[in-house]
Amino acid sequence: MDSSFAERLVAWQKKYGRNNLPWQKSHDPYVRWLAEIMLQQTQVKTVIPYFDRFIERFPTVQDLAEATEEEVMKLWAGLGYYSRARNLHKCAKEVQCRFNGSFPIELSDLESLPGIGVSTAAAIRSAATDEPCAILDGNVKRVLARHGMIGKGLTPRETENLLWADARSKTPLKEGRTYAQAVMDLGATVCTRTKPLCALCPVNQDCKAFQTDSQLEFPVKKVRAPVPEEILNLAVYTDGNEVYLLRKSERYWKGLWTLPQLRDEEAEQSEEVLPAIEHRLTHLLLRIYPVRLPIPAKIPAAWKAFTKEQIKTEALPTPIRKLLLEVL
Protein backbone atom coordinates (compact mmCIF):
# COMPACT_ATOMS: atom_id res chain seq x y z
CA MET A 1 0.00 0.00 0.00
CA ASP A 2 1.29 3.47 -0.94
CA SER A 3 0.52 5.17 2.39
CA SER A 4 2.39 8.34 1.43
CA PHE A 5 0.14 8.88 -1.62
CA ALA A 6 -3.02 8.36 0.44
CA GLU A 7 -1.85 10.50 3.35
CA ARG A 8 -1.04 13.45 1.08
CA LEU A 9 -4.41 13.17 -0.66
CA VAL A 10 -6.38 12.92 2.59
CA ALA A 11 -4.58 15.98 4.00
CA TRP A 12 -5.24 17.88 0.77
CA GLN A 13 -8.90 16.90 0.76
CA LYS A 14 -9.49 18.18 4.28
CA LYS A 15 -8.02 21.54 3.37
CA TYR A 16 -8.86 22.08 -0.29
CA GLY A 17 -11.35 19.41 -1.37
CA ARG A 18 -15.10 19.67 -1.88
CA ASN A 19 -16.57 19.09 1.56
CA ASN A 20 -19.95 20.84 1.38
CA LEU A 21 -21.76 19.01 -1.41
CA PRO A 22 -25.42 18.31 -0.56
CA TRP A 23 -25.07 14.51 -0.55
CA GLN A 24 -22.09 14.69 1.82
CA LYS A 25 -24.45 15.71 4.61
CA SER A 26 -25.69 12.12 4.76
CA HIS A 27 -24.09 8.70 5.04
CA ASP A 28 -27.34 7.01 4.04
CA PRO A 29 -26.44 4.55 1.24
CA TYR A 30 -29.62 5.52 -0.65
CA VAL A 31 -28.54 9.17 -0.73
CA ARG A 32 -24.98 8.32 -1.74
CA TRP A 33 -26.20 5.88 -4.42
CA LEU A 34 -28.44 8.54 -5.92
CA ALA A 35 -25.53 11.00 -6.06
CA GLU A 36 -23.12 8.45 -7.53
CA ILE A 37 -25.50 7.54 -10.35
CA MET A 38 -26.17 11.18 -11.19
CA LEU A 39 -22.46 11.99 -11.15
CA GLN A 40 -21.61 9.37 -13.76
CA GLN A 41 -20.32 11.32 -16.79
CA THR A 42 -21.88 14.51 -15.40
CA GLN A 43 -20.30 17.50 -13.64
CA VAL A 44 -21.09 18.28 -10.01
CA LYS A 45 -22.51 21.74 -10.73
CA THR A 46 -24.98 20.19 -13.19
CA VAL A 47 -25.99 17.42 -10.78
CA ILE A 48 -26.70 19.51 -7.66
CA PRO A 49 -30.12 20.97 -8.63
CA TYR A 50 -31.29 17.58 -9.96
CA PHE A 51 -30.13 15.84 -6.79
CA ASP A 52 -31.93 18.38 -4.61
CA ARG A 53 -35.18 17.93 -6.55
CA PHE A 54 -34.96 14.13 -6.40
CA ILE A 55 -34.31 14.05 -2.66
CA GLU A 56 -37.15 16.47 -2.03
CA ARG A 57 -39.58 14.36 -4.06
CA PHE A 58 -38.14 10.92 -3.19
CA PRO A 59 -36.62 11.18 0.31
CA THR A 60 -36.44 7.36 0.63
CA VAL A 61 -35.84 4.48 -1.75
CA GLN A 62 -39.43 3.37 -1.08
CA ASP A 63 -40.71 6.70 -2.41
CA LEU A 64 -38.67 6.27 -5.57
CA ALA A 65 -39.76 2.65 -6.03
CA GLU A 66 -43.43 3.61 -5.78
CA ALA A 67 -43.17 6.46 -8.31
CA THR A 68 -44.19 6.06 -11.93
CA GLU A 69 -41.50 5.88 -14.59
CA GLU A 70 -42.96 9.00 -16.18
CA GLU A 71 -42.49 10.97 -12.96
CA VAL A 72 -38.89 9.79 -12.63
CA MET A 73 -38.13 10.67 -16.24
CA LYS A 74 -39.76 14.07 -15.80
CA LEU A 75 -37.42 14.95 -12.93
CA TRP A 76 -34.42 13.54 -14.81
CA ALA A 77 -35.14 15.31 -18.12
CA GLY A 78 -32.16 17.43 -19.18
CA LEU A 79 -29.57 15.45 -17.21
CA GLY A 80 -28.88 13.13 -20.16
CA TYR A 81 -27.81 9.48 -20.37
CA TYR A 82 -31.42 8.47 -19.75
CA SER A 83 -30.71 4.78 -19.22
CA ARG A 84 -29.38 5.90 -15.82
CA ALA A 85 -32.85 7.12 -14.87
CA ARG A 86 -34.52 3.90 -15.98
CA ASN A 87 -31.94 1.83 -14.09
CA LEU A 88 -32.38 4.12 -11.07
CA HIS A 89 -36.10 3.36 -10.98
CA LYS A 90 -35.55 -0.35 -11.61
CA CYS A 91 -32.90 -0.49 -8.87
CA ALA A 92 -35.21 1.17 -6.34
CA LYS A 93 -37.89 -1.41 -7.10
CA GLU A 94 -35.39 -4.25 -6.62
CA VAL A 95 -34.22 -2.81 -3.28
CA GLN A 96 -37.85 -2.60 -2.21
CA CYS A 97 -38.50 -6.19 -3.27
CA ARG A 98 -35.23 -7.98 -2.46
CA PHE A 99 -34.02 -5.99 0.56
CA ASN A 100 -37.34 -4.93 2.10
CA GLY A 101 -36.69 -1.29 1.25
CA SER A 102 -33.37 -1.15 3.13
CA PHE A 103 -30.58 -0.06 0.79
CA PRO A 104 -27.74 -2.63 1.00
CA ILE A 105 -24.10 -1.83 1.72
CA GLU A 106 -22.42 -5.19 1.00
CA LEU A 107 -20.40 -4.97 -2.21
CA SER A 108 -21.85 -8.19 -3.66
CA ASP A 109 -25.40 -6.96 -3.03
CA LEU A 110 -24.68 -3.55 -4.50
CA GLU A 111 -23.04 -4.99 -7.62
CA SER A 112 -26.08 -7.22 -8.20
CA LEU A 113 -28.37 -4.20 -8.61
CA PRO A 114 -29.15 -2.52 -11.97
CA GLY A 115 -26.81 0.31 -12.98
CA ILE A 116 -24.24 -0.33 -10.21
CA GLY A 117 -20.80 -1.46 -11.35
CA VAL A 118 -17.76 -2.42 -9.29
CA SER A 119 -16.43 1.12 -8.81
CA THR A 120 -19.84 2.63 -8.07
CA ALA A 121 -20.53 -0.10 -5.51
CA ALA A 122 -17.21 0.63 -3.81
CA ALA A 123 -17.90 4.38 -3.78
CA ILE A 124 -21.33 3.84 -2.18
CA ARG A 125 -19.98 1.47 0.48
CA SER A 126 -17.04 3.72 1.30
CA ALA A 127 -19.27 6.80 1.59
CA ALA A 128 -21.81 4.97 3.75
CA THR A 129 -19.43 3.11 6.09
CA ASP A 130 -16.05 4.93 5.86
CA GLU A 131 -14.55 1.56 4.94
CA PRO A 132 -11.64 1.90 2.48
CA CYS A 133 -12.71 0.54 -0.93
CA ALA A 134 -10.76 0.94 -4.15
CA ILE A 135 -12.63 3.00 -6.74
CA LEU A 136 -11.86 3.65 -10.38
CA ASP A 137 -14.16 6.15 -12.02
CA GLY A 138 -13.07 8.38 -14.90
CA ASN A 139 -11.45 11.01 -12.68
CA VAL A 140 -9.54 8.41 -10.68
CA LYS A 141 -8.33 6.69 -13.85
CA ARG A 142 -6.87 9.97 -15.06
CA VAL A 143 -5.06 10.63 -11.77
CA LEU A 144 -3.55 7.14 -11.58
CA ALA A 145 -2.74 6.88 -15.29
CA ARG A 146 -0.74 10.12 -15.10
CA HIS A 147 0.84 9.45 -11.72
CA GLY A 148 2.20 6.09 -12.85
CA MET A 149 2.29 6.71 -16.62
CA ILE A 150 0.06 3.67 -17.10
CA GLY A 151 -1.33 2.71 -20.48
CA LYS A 152 1.20 3.21 -23.25
CA GLY A 153 1.79 0.08 -25.31
CA LEU A 154 -0.95 -1.80 -23.48
CA THR A 155 -4.32 -3.12 -24.54
CA PRO A 156 -7.39 -1.50 -22.91
CA ARG A 157 -7.88 -4.62 -20.77
CA GLU A 158 -4.25 -4.61 -19.63
CA THR A 159 -4.51 -0.92 -18.78
CA GLU A 160 -7.72 -1.46 -16.82
CA ASN A 161 -6.17 -4.32 -14.84
CA LEU A 162 -3.07 -2.29 -13.99
CA LEU A 163 -5.15 0.72 -12.95
CA TRP A 164 -7.28 -1.45 -10.66
CA ALA A 165 -4.14 -2.95 -9.11
CA ASP A 166 -2.73 0.55 -8.60
CA ALA A 167 -6.02 1.79 -7.13
CA ARG A 168 -6.06 -1.06 -4.62
CA SER A 169 -2.42 -0.56 -3.66
CA LYS A 170 -2.98 3.14 -2.98
CA THR A 171 -6.23 2.78 -1.00
CA PRO A 172 -5.44 3.37 2.71
CA LEU A 173 -6.50 1.22 5.65
CA LYS A 174 -8.51 4.03 7.25
CA GLU A 175 -10.43 7.19 6.36
CA GLY A 176 -11.91 5.47 3.33
CA ARG A 177 -14.64 8.07 2.84
CA THR A 178 -12.21 10.99 2.80
CA TYR A 179 -9.69 9.23 0.57
CA ALA A 180 -12.32 8.24 -1.99
CA GLN A 181 -13.59 11.82 -2.15
CA ALA A 182 -10.02 13.10 -2.33
CA VAL A 183 -8.95 11.05 -5.33
CA MET A 184 -12.19 11.87 -7.18
CA ASP A 185 -11.88 15.57 -6.33
CA LEU A 186 -8.26 15.68 -7.44
CA GLY A 187 -9.25 14.40 -10.86
CA ALA A 188 -12.24 16.71 -11.12
CA THR A 189 -10.62 19.95 -9.97
CA VAL A 190 -6.82 19.68 -10.36
CA CYS A 191 -5.82 16.75 -12.56
CA THR A 192 -8.29 17.82 -15.23
CA ARG A 193 -8.54 16.42 -18.75
CA THR A 194 -7.07 19.58 -20.31
CA LYS A 195 -4.95 22.24 -18.62
CA PRO A 196 -4.24 20.30 -15.39
CA LEU A 197 -3.20 22.47 -12.44
CA CYS A 198 -0.12 20.44 -11.61
CA ALA A 199 1.43 23.10 -9.37
CA LEU A 200 -1.50 22.62 -6.96
CA CYS A 201 -1.33 18.83 -6.90
CA PRO A 202 -0.35 17.22 -3.58
CA VAL A 203 1.28 14.24 -5.33
CA ASN A 204 3.10 16.06 -8.13
CA GLN A 205 6.55 15.32 -6.65
CA ASP A 206 6.31 11.67 -7.71
CA CYS A 207 3.91 11.99 -10.65
CA LYS A 208 5.74 10.47 -13.61
CA ALA A 209 3.71 12.34 -16.23
CA PHE A 210 4.38 15.67 -14.50
CA GLN A 211 8.08 14.91 -14.25
CA THR A 212 8.26 14.18 -17.99
CA ASP A 213 5.82 16.91 -19.07
CA SER A 214 3.55 14.29 -20.65
CA GLN A 215 0.34 14.84 -18.69
CA LEU A 216 -1.86 15.22 -21.76
CA GLU A 217 -0.64 11.88 -23.13
CA PHE A 218 -2.45 10.08 -20.31
CA PRO A 219 -4.83 8.38 -20.10
CA VAL A 220 -3.94 6.94 -23.49
CA LYS A 221 -6.77 7.77 -25.87
CA LYS A 222 -8.65 4.95 -27.49
CA VAL A 223 -8.91 4.92 -31.27
CA ARG A 224 -12.58 5.66 -31.84
CA ALA A 225 -14.63 4.75 -34.87
CA PRO A 226 -16.45 7.59 -36.65
CA VAL A 227 -19.69 8.49 -34.92
CA PRO A 228 -22.71 7.35 -36.97
CA GLU A 229 -25.32 9.92 -37.92
CA GLU A 230 -29.09 9.74 -38.00
CA ILE A 231 -31.46 12.18 -39.68
CA LEU A 232 -34.72 12.99 -37.93
CA ASN A 233 -37.50 14.80 -39.76
CA LEU A 234 -39.77 15.93 -36.92
CA ALA A 235 -43.21 17.49 -37.07
CA VAL A 236 -44.20 20.43 -34.89
CA TYR A 237 -47.99 20.09 -34.99
CA THR A 238 -49.13 23.27 -33.31
CA ASP A 239 -51.79 25.97 -33.34
CA GLY A 240 -49.42 28.36 -31.59
CA ASN A 241 -50.73 27.56 -28.12
CA GLU A 242 -50.31 23.80 -27.88
CA VAL A 243 -48.10 21.25 -29.58
CA TYR A 244 -48.65 17.51 -29.95
CA LEU A 245 -46.02 15.09 -28.68
CA LEU A 246 -45.74 11.33 -28.35
CA ARG A 247 -43.83 9.26 -25.82
CA LYS A 248 -40.81 7.48 -27.27
CA SER A 249 -40.81 3.77 -26.54
CA GLU A 250 -37.44 2.61 -27.85
CA ARG A 251 -33.75 3.43 -28.35
CA TYR A 252 -32.50 6.89 -27.29
CA TRP A 253 -34.90 9.18 -25.39
CA LYS A 254 -36.95 6.16 -24.36
CA GLY A 255 -39.72 7.25 -22.00
CA LEU A 256 -39.47 10.94 -22.96
CA TRP A 257 -42.02 13.03 -24.85
CA THR A 258 -40.83 14.08 -28.28
CA LEU A 259 -42.11 15.20 -31.66
CA PRO A 260 -43.68 12.80 -34.17
CA GLN A 261 -41.35 11.71 -36.94
CA LEU A 262 -42.14 12.38 -40.60
CA ARG A 263 -41.27 10.50 -43.76
CA ASP A 264 -39.09 12.42 -46.22
CA GLU A 265 -41.99 13.10 -48.60
CA GLU A 266 -44.13 14.44 -45.73
CA ALA A 267 -41.32 16.76 -44.62
CA GLU A 268 -41.16 18.23 -48.12
CA GLN A 269 -44.84 19.27 -47.87
CA SER A 270 -44.21 21.27 -44.71
CA GLU A 271 -45.80 24.59 -43.94
CA GLU A 272 -42.67 26.11 -42.44
CA VAL A 273 -39.14 24.76 -42.18
CA LEU A 274 -37.59 25.51 -38.78
CA PRO A 275 -33.84 25.82 -38.06
CA ALA A 276 -32.00 22.50 -38.11
CA ILE A 277 -30.54 21.13 -34.88
CA GLU A 278 -27.42 19.03 -34.37
CA HIS A 279 -27.41 17.01 -31.16
CA ARG A 280 -24.69 14.61 -30.01
CA LEU A 281 -25.59 11.52 -28.03
CA THR A 282 -22.93 9.19 -26.62
CA HIS A 283 -22.61 7.03 -29.74
CA LEU A 284 -24.77 8.87 -32.24
CA LEU A 285 -25.02 12.27 -33.90
CA LEU A 286 -28.60 13.38 -34.51
CA ARG A 287 -29.34 15.83 -37.32
CA ILE A 288 -32.81 17.11 -36.56
CA TYR A 289 -34.90 18.86 -39.22
CA PRO A 290 -38.12 20.18 -37.65
CA VAL A 291 -41.03 21.53 -39.66
CA ARG A 292 -44.15 23.35 -38.47
CA LEU A 293 -47.43 21.79 -39.56
CA PRO A 294 -51.11 22.46 -38.81
CA ILE A 295 -52.78 20.11 -36.35
CA PRO A 296 -54.34 17.22 -38.31
CA ALA A 297 -58.09 16.64 -38.24
CA LYS A 298 -57.61 13.21 -36.68
CA ILE A 299 -55.26 13.04 -33.69
CA PRO A 300 -53.62 9.64 -33.03
CA ALA A 301 -54.48 8.20 -29.60
CA ALA A 302 -50.80 8.11 -28.56
CA TRP A 303 -50.37 11.87 -29.04
CA LYS A 304 -50.81 14.33 -26.21
CA ALA A 305 -51.19 18.13 -26.31
CA PHE A 306 -48.71 20.21 -24.31
CA THR A 307 -48.78 23.91 -23.50
CA LYS A 308 -45.63 26.01 -23.26
CA GLU A 309 -45.79 25.87 -19.45
CA GLN A 310 -46.03 22.08 -19.51
CA ILE A 311 -43.10 21.83 -21.89
CA LYS A 312 -40.95 23.63 -19.31
CA THR A 313 -41.54 20.92 -16.70
CA GLU A 314 -42.43 17.65 -18.46
CA ALA A 315 -39.97 14.93 -19.50
CA LEU A 316 -38.66 16.14 -22.87
CA PRO A 317 -35.19 15.76 -24.43
CA THR A 318 -33.22 18.97 -24.01
CA PRO A 319 -33.00 19.89 -27.75
CA ILE A 320 -36.74 19.31 -28.24
CA ARG A 321 -37.64 21.37 -25.18
CA LYS A 322 -35.38 24.21 -26.34
CA LEU A 323 -36.87 24.13 -29.85
CA LEU A 324 -40.47 24.22 -28.64
CA LEU A 325 -39.89 27.01 -26.14
CA GLU A 326 -38.65 29.10 -29.05
CA VAL A 327 -41.51 28.12 -31.35
CA LEU A 328 -44.50 28.56 -29.03
Query: What structural domains does the chain harbor?
Result: 3-217 (1.10.340.30), 229-327 (3.90.79.10)
**36 annotated active-site:** yes
For residue range 63-104, list pLDDT tens digits in order. Answer: 999 999 999 999 999 999 999 999 999 999 999 999 999 999
Higher pLDDT, 135 or 224: 135
> Side by side, which strands form the sheet with 257-258?
257-258, 242-247, 303-307
Q: Residue 48: pLDDT band by 50, 70, 90 thresholds?
A: very high
**Cα(205)–Cα(155) distance, rounded to whole angstroms?**
28
Instruction: Give tens-digit pLDDT for 29-46.
Output: 999 999 999 999 999 999
Q: What is the mean pLDDT of residues 110-137?
A: 97
Q: Is the pLDDT of residue 2 over 70?
A: no
| 269 pLDDT above the threshold of 70 | no
pLDDT at 270 (0 to 100)? 64
- H-run or E-run covering 242: strand 242-247
Q: Backbone phi, then psi, for 161, in 5-degree steps?
A: -65, -40
One-letter amino acid of 187: G
Q: Count CB neighbours of 150 within 10 A.
A: 22
257: helix, coil or strand? strand
Pick the catalytic residue from 7, 36, 106, 217: 36
pLDDT score at 119: 97
pLDDT digits 0-9 by tens, 108-120: 999 999 999 999 9
Percent of the chain residues past pLDDT 70, beyond the cut: 97
Distance of CA 84 to the CA centre of its chain: 7
One DSSP character per residue, 21-58 reads -GGGG---HHHHHHHHHHHTTS-HHHHHHHHHHHHHH-
If we measure between CA atoms, which residue out of 212, 204, 160 comes closest to residue 186? 204
Task: Find residue 234's DSSP bridge partners.
Answer: 261, 290
Contact 186, 9 (CB under 8 A): yes
- First-last CA distance in the chain: 60
Burial of 153 (0-12, 13-18, 19+ CB in 10 A): exposed
- Of 10-24, 264-278, 282-296, the range with the highest mean pLDDT is 10-24
Q: What CA–CA distance (Å, rounded) separates 44 from 35?
A: 9
Task: Give tens-digit pLDDT for 135-194.
Answer: 999 999 999 999 999 999 999 999 999 999 999 999 999 999 999 999 999 999 999 999
